[in-house]
Amino acid sequence: MTSHHPIFITDALTLKGNLFLAPLAGYTDAPFRQLCIEGGADFTYTEMVSVEGLARKGEKTIALLPRAKDEKEYAIQLFLGELASLRSALAIVKEHQPTMIDINAGCPVPKVTKTGAGSALMKNPPLIMEIVRIIKEESGIPTSVKFRIGWDHESRNYLEFADAAIEGGADLLTLHARTRAQGYAPFAQWDCLTSLKTHLAKKGLTIPLIGSGDLFEAEDAVRMLQETNIDGVMFARGAVGNPVIFNQAKALLEGKEKPLLTATDKVNLLLTHLHTLAGYYDELTACTLMRKFIGGYLKGIPHAAKVKQAAVHALTITAYEDALNHLTVSEDRI
Ligand SMILES: Cc1cc2nc3c(=O)[nH]c(=O)nc-3n(C[C@H](O)[C@H](O)[C@H](O)COP(=O)(O)O)c2cc1C
């Protein structure tokens, strides 16, 4: 449905809207999620969290779990390739009472897939069924699965995989419309979203389907909803450097004009991001973590390359501000 609308999950849970922030390892930490919520995200995901790491009580792994400020509803995304540690990991996850627990069946990174986790789960539909069943039984928390079209072109099994997840009790599905072999390029195959939605409808299933893949601008979200008839969209790389993409998409879906940003707005967003990071981490960590976002914010701003170079070496907030002061920003909307 091409509109901004709530997503019904269970009698006890309706998500307030259909514009989601994707899980992005190394990016969707609590401060970035906070910014995206301020920018209009209706529902957010932690980056993927290792079940093995939780079971081992790894400090860095456990640190990924808490909510961001004002994050009323969020999903904790888990990755696992076998059931052995799941129950002990869930005991820790439950302490945070996430709105949803999401299972990663899409990560293509060999370090993850060689353990049977991430997109390797797609080779094992009975296992996803069992994982979902155990999570629901053990936690009572709504459970979702994020998966791909298949392991590779020859083994595209997303319909069968969705069926298995649903049989296990899944409450929401997200399809990243690429195979594992495709990684993150080239184009996502949105027609698979249409096929899956049709497949579910034929079975009389109303489980919400969220789409992921090539949502770089707000307009892409509108187009995906229009072309595929799915229930919601999940911004991933499109939100990096533009955490207000959600509000932009919302405006378009409400028939309003897209609120465009000036270069000044972008620089201000960058600084807000930096200060938000500093609210969660120490200043040096905040400045270091900020580096991977700079390019996104400065994209489209003329002559930003030199400033980008200086900012990348900045170790204090003041040094960032100094570097950005050298930018000639206009009030043109970009
Ligand atoms: C740097 C990076 C990290 C990602 N981390 C995760 C992750 O932790 N869990 C997950 O399910 N997907 C992850 N993804 C996949 C995204 O959530 C999304 O499905 C994918 O980027 C396709 O959307 P896009 O083409 O609009 O970026 C990651 C993608 C990128 C580029």
The predicted-structure confidence for 24-66, as pLDDT tens digits, reads as follows 999 999 999 999 999 999 999 999 999 999 999 999 999 999 9
Q: Flag whether pLDDT at 99 surpasses 90.
A: yes
The residue behind tokens 């201000």 is 268
7-253 classified as CATH 3.20.20.70: yes
Residue 212 CB–ligand 1 contact under 6 Å: yes
Radius of gyration of the chain (CA): 20
Task: Compute the distance between CA of residue 265 and CA of residue 58 in angstroms, rounded to an integer.
Answer: 39
Burial 76-103 (b: 16+ CB within 10 A, else e): bbbbbbeeebbeebbebbeeeebbbbbb
Mutate to test the pocket of ligand 1, among 184, 210, 214, 230 (most ligand atoms within 8 A of CB): 184
7-253 and 263-325: identical CATH topology:
no
Q: What is the mean pLDDT of the chain?
A: 96
Residue 211 in tokens: 């789409």
Looking at the DSSP assignment, which residues form a beta bridge with residue 174?
A: 146, 210
Q: CA 218 to CA 221: how far, in whole Å?
A: 5
Query: 149: which 2 tokens?
Result: 């079209």
Residue position matching structure tokens 């981490």: 281
Specify the residue with its C-alpha closest to ligand 1, atom 21: 236
Index of the ligand 1 atom closest to the CA of residue 178: 22
Q: Is the pLDDT of residue 306 over 90?
A: no
Task: Answer yes or no: are the C-beta atoms of 44 and 236 closer than 8 Å.
Answer: no
Q: What is the pLDDT of residues 6-23, one digit of tens each?
A: 999 999 999 999 999 999
29 lines ligand 1 (CB under 6 A): no
Q: Is the pTM of this model over 0.85?
A: yes
Between 33-42, 102-111, 204-213, 323-332, the lowest mean confidence (pLDDT) is in: 323-332
Cα angle 122-225-212, degrees, rounded to a multiple of 5: 30
Q: Is residue 176 in contact with ligand 1, taking CB distance under 6 Å?
A: yes
> How does pLDDT run across 213-268, given as a tens digit for each residue?
999 999 999 999 999 999 999 999 999 999 999 999 999 999 999 999 998 999 99
- What is the rounded CA–CA span in Å between residue 54 and residue 61? 6
Fold of 263-325: 1.10.1200
Nearest Cα neighbor of 315 from 278, 288, 280, 282 is: 288
- Judge whether residue 300 has pLDDT over 90: no
**Percent of all residues in the chain with a pLDDT value above 90, rounded to a whole number:** 90
Closest among 115, 91, 205, 224 to 159, alpha carbons compared: 205
Domain boundaries, the chain: 7-253, 263-325
For residues 314 and 291, what is the distance between their CA atoms, to the nearest angstrom? 9
